[in-house]
Structure 1
Amino acid sequence: MSAGYVIAQLKVTNPENYKEYVAKVSEVVKKFGGEYLVRNGEYQVVEGEDNFPRLVIIKFPTYEKALEWYHSDEYKPVKDIRLQNSEGNNIIVKGI
Protein backbone atom coordinates (compact mmCIF):
# COMPACT_ATOMS: atom_id res chain seq x y z
CA MET A 1 0.00 0.00 0.00
CA SER A 2 1.09 3.54 -0.68
CA ALA A 3 1.81 5.96 2.14
CA GLY A 4 -0.44 8.96 2.64
CA TYR A 5 0.91 12.46 3.04
CA VAL A 6 -0.72 15.48 4.63
CA ILE A 7 0.63 18.73 3.22
CA ALA A 8 -0.45 21.83 5.12
CA GLN A 9 0.37 25.39 4.08
CA LEU A 10 -0.68 27.79 6.80
CA LYS A 11 -0.64 31.36 7.94
CA VAL A 12 -1.13 31.56 11.70
CA THR A 13 -3.52 34.41 12.46
CA ASN A 14 -3.53 34.11 16.26
CA PRO A 15 -0.11 32.82 17.42
CA GLU A 16 -0.98 32.73 21.11
CA ASN A 17 -4.04 30.51 20.66
CA TYR A 18 -2.32 28.43 17.96
CA LYS A 19 0.14 27.19 20.60
CA GLU A 20 -2.66 25.00 21.98
CA TYR A 21 -2.98 23.28 18.59
CA VAL A 22 0.76 22.64 18.42
CA ALA A 23 0.69 21.18 21.94
CA LYS A 24 -2.18 18.77 21.17
CA VAL A 25 -1.82 17.69 17.55
CA SER A 26 1.31 15.52 17.80
CA GLU A 27 -0.35 12.99 20.10
CA VAL A 28 -3.27 12.49 17.69
CA VAL A 29 -0.94 12.24 14.68
CA LYS A 30 1.12 9.59 16.47
CA LYS A 31 -2.01 7.60 17.42
CA PHE A 32 -2.80 7.16 13.71
CA GLY A 33 0.77 6.19 12.81
CA GLY A 34 1.74 9.60 11.49
CA GLU A 35 5.28 10.92 11.39
CA TYR A 36 6.28 14.54 10.84
CA LEU A 37 8.65 14.97 7.91
CA VAL A 38 8.50 18.78 7.86
CA ARG A 39 7.18 21.01 10.62
CA ASN A 40 8.02 24.54 9.62
CA GLY A 41 11.68 25.28 9.13
CA GLU A 42 13.92 27.21 6.83
CA TYR A 43 12.69 27.41 3.26
CA GLN A 44 12.85 29.50 0.09
CA VAL A 45 10.01 30.17 -2.31
CA VAL A 46 11.63 29.74 -5.70
CA GLU A 47 8.44 30.10 -7.75
CA GLY A 48 5.01 31.47 -6.99
CA GLU A 49 3.76 33.43 -3.99
CA ASP A 50 4.43 32.98 -0.30
CA ASN A 51 0.86 33.29 0.98
CA PHE A 52 1.22 30.67 3.71
CA PRO A 53 4.60 30.81 5.47
CA ARG A 54 4.12 27.70 7.68
CA LEU A 55 4.63 24.35 5.96
CA VAL A 56 3.92 20.95 7.51
CA ILE A 57 4.25 17.52 5.89
CA ILE A 58 3.10 14.41 7.75
CA LYS A 59 3.57 10.85 6.48
CA PHE A 60 0.99 8.19 7.39
CA PRO A 61 1.36 4.45 6.72
CA THR A 62 -1.41 4.59 4.10
CA TYR A 63 -3.51 7.15 2.27
CA GLU A 64 -6.57 5.71 4.00
CA LYS A 65 -4.95 6.17 7.44
CA ALA A 66 -4.25 9.84 6.64
CA LEU A 67 -7.90 10.37 5.74
CA GLU A 68 -9.00 8.45 8.83
CA TRP A 69 -6.85 10.74 11.01
CA TYR A 70 -8.18 13.91 9.40
CA HIS A 71 -11.84 12.89 9.80
CA SER A 72 -11.44 11.26 13.24
CA ASP A 73 -13.31 12.21 16.39
CA GLU A 74 -9.92 12.52 18.11
CA TYR A 75 -8.65 15.15 15.66
CA LYS A 76 -11.89 17.15 15.32
CA PRO A 77 -11.53 19.30 18.48
CA VAL A 78 -7.83 19.86 17.73
CA LYS A 79 -8.59 20.72 14.10
CA ASP A 80 -11.15 23.27 15.30
CA ILE A 81 -8.38 25.06 17.22
CA ARG A 82 -6.30 25.23 14.03
CA LEU A 83 -9.21 26.45 11.94
CA GLN A 84 -9.98 29.23 14.43
CA ASN A 85 -6.38 30.44 14.58
CA SER A 86 -4.96 30.01 11.09
CA GLU A 87 -5.85 29.99 7.42
CA GLY A 88 -4.42 28.02 4.54
CA ASN A 89 -4.52 24.81 2.55
CA ASN A 90 -4.56 21.19 3.68
CA ILE A 91 -3.98 18.46 1.11
CA ILE A 92 -3.95 14.70 1.58
CA VAL A 93 -2.19 12.84 -1.22
CA LYS A 94 -1.44 9.18 -1.93
CA GLY A 95 2.27 8.53 -2.33
CA ILE A 96 3.89 6.46 -5.04
Structure 2
Amino acid sequence: MTVYIVAQITISDRETYGKYEQGFMPVFNLFDGKMLSVDEAPHVLEGDWACTRTVLAEFPDRDMALAWYNCPEYQAILPHRLKGAKAHIAILNGFPAPAA
Protein backbone atom coordinates (compact mmCIF):
# COMPACT_ATOMS: atom_id res chain seq x y z
CA MET A 1 0.00 0.00 0.00
CA THR A 2 1.29 3.45 -0.90
CA VAL A 3 2.41 5.55 2.07
CA TYR A 4 3.13 9.23 2.40
CA ILE A 5 5.63 11.03 4.56
CA VAL A 6 4.60 14.46 5.72
CA ALA A 7 7.21 16.67 7.36
CA GLN A 8 6.66 20.03 9.00
CA ILE A 9 10.10 21.58 9.33
CA THR A 10 11.19 24.76 11.08
CA ILE A 11 14.60 25.74 9.73
CA SER A 12 16.77 27.67 12.17
CA ASP A 13 20.15 27.46 10.39
CA ARG A 14 19.88 27.56 6.58
CA GLU A 15 23.60 26.91 6.05
CA THR A 16 23.59 23.70 8.10
CA TYR A 17 20.23 22.64 6.66
CA GLY A 18 21.70 23.23 3.20
CA LYS A 19 24.24 20.48 3.85
CA TYR A 20 21.32 18.13 4.48
CA GLU A 21 19.58 19.29 1.30
CA GLN A 22 22.70 18.64 -0.80
CA GLY A 23 22.66 14.95 0.03
CA PHE A 24 18.91 14.43 0.29
CA MET A 25 17.70 13.72 -3.26
CA PRO A 26 20.46 11.27 -4.25
CA VAL A 27 19.57 9.12 -1.22
CA PHE A 28 15.81 9.63 -1.59
CA ASN A 29 15.91 8.51 -5.24
CA LEU A 30 17.48 5.16 -4.27
CA PHE A 31 14.22 4.06 -2.61
CA ASP A 32 11.58 4.70 -5.28
CA GLY A 33 10.44 7.82 -3.46
CA LYS A 34 8.42 10.47 -5.24
CA MET A 35 8.57 14.06 -4.01
CA LEU A 36 5.03 15.46 -4.22
CA SER A 37 5.47 18.89 -2.62
CA VAL A 38 8.02 21.09 -0.92
CA ASP A 39 6.41 24.35 0.12
CA GLU A 40 7.61 27.24 2.25
CA ALA A 41 4.44 29.30 1.82
CA PRO A 42 1.37 27.03 1.91
CA HIS A 43 -2.10 28.52 1.69
CA VAL A 44 -3.36 27.81 5.21
CA LEU A 45 -7.10 27.25 5.42
CA GLU A 46 -7.41 26.76 9.19
CA GLY A 47 -5.24 27.07 12.26
CA ASP A 48 -1.61 28.05 12.62
CA TRP A 49 1.14 26.76 10.33
CA ALA A 50 4.27 27.77 12.18
CA CYS A 51 6.79 25.66 10.26
CA THR A 52 8.99 27.19 7.58
CA ARG A 53 8.84 24.21 5.18
CA THR A 54 6.33 21.46 4.56
CA VAL A 55 7.27 18.34 2.61
CA LEU A 56 5.03 15.63 1.19
CA ALA A 57 6.66 12.50 -0.24
CA GLU A 58 5.31 9.19 -1.51
CA PHE A 59 6.75 5.69 -1.25
CA PRO A 60 5.41 2.43 -2.70
CA ASP A 61 4.99 0.98 0.79
CA ARG A 62 5.91 1.42 4.46
CA ASP A 63 8.89 -0.94 4.23
CA MET A 64 10.46 1.17 1.47
CA ALA A 65 9.84 4.39 3.42
CA LEU A 66 11.46 2.95 6.53
CA ALA A 67 14.33 1.48 4.51
CA TRP A 68 15.03 4.99 3.16
CA TYR A 69 14.84 6.65 6.59
CA ASN A 70 17.01 4.02 8.27
CA CYS A 71 19.62 3.50 5.52
CA PRO A 72 23.23 4.44 6.32
CA GLU A 73 23.31 7.09 3.57
CA TYR A 74 20.32 8.97 5.01
CA GLN A 75 21.52 8.55 8.57
CA ALA A 76 24.83 10.14 7.47
CA ILE A 77 23.11 13.39 6.37
CA LEU A 78 20.43 13.42 9.08
CA PRO A 79 22.62 15.15 11.71
CA HIS A 80 22.68 18.26 9.48
CA ARG A 81 18.87 18.47 9.56
CA LEU A 82 18.76 17.78 13.28
CA LYS A 83 21.27 20.58 13.88
CA GLY A 84 19.74 23.06 11.44
CA ALA A 85 16.02 22.47 11.99
CA LYS A 86 13.27 21.01 14.14
CA ALA A 87 10.71 18.74 12.51
CA HIS A 88 7.50 16.83 12.98
CA ILE A 89 7.48 13.85 10.60
CA ALA A 90 4.91 11.10 10.13
CA ILE A 91 4.14 8.22 7.78
CA LEU A 92 0.53 8.22 6.57
CA ASN A 93 -1.16 5.25 4.95
CA GLY A 94 -2.67 5.77 1.52
CA PHE A 95 -6.05 4.35 0.58
CA PRO A 96 -6.08 0.72 -0.51
CA ALA A 97 -6.39 0.22 -4.26
CA PRO A 98 -10.00 -0.36 -5.31
CA ALA A 99 -10.97 -3.95 -6.07
CA ALA A 100 -11.00 -4.71 -9.78
Q: Can you list the C-alpha shifts for 1:34-83, whole angstroms capped at 9, x where unaligned? A: 11000125411211112212001111111211111111112101111111
- TM-score by length of structure 1 reads 0.90
Structure 2: tracts of 5 or more residues without a match: 96-100
- The structure with more radius of gyration: 2
Paired residues, what number?
A: 95
Partner of 2:35: 36
Superposition pairs of residues 1-96 of structure 1, within 5 angstroms? 2-96=1-95
Percent identical among aligned pairs is 28
Q: Calculate the aligned-residue CA RMSD, in Å.
A: 1.2
Deviations 1:4-33 (A, max 9, x none): 211110010101111111111001110011
The CA deviation at 1:92 is 1.1
Give the Cα–Cα distance (whole angstroms) in 1 for the partners of residues 92 and 77 of structure 2.
21
Structure 1: which 4+ aligned runs deviate by more than 4 Å?
none
- Structure 2 CA distance for aligned equivalents of residues 60 and 22 of structure 1: 19
Tell whether the 8 Å contact from 2:41 to 2:53 is kept in structure 1 after alignment.
no
TM-score (norm 2): 0.87
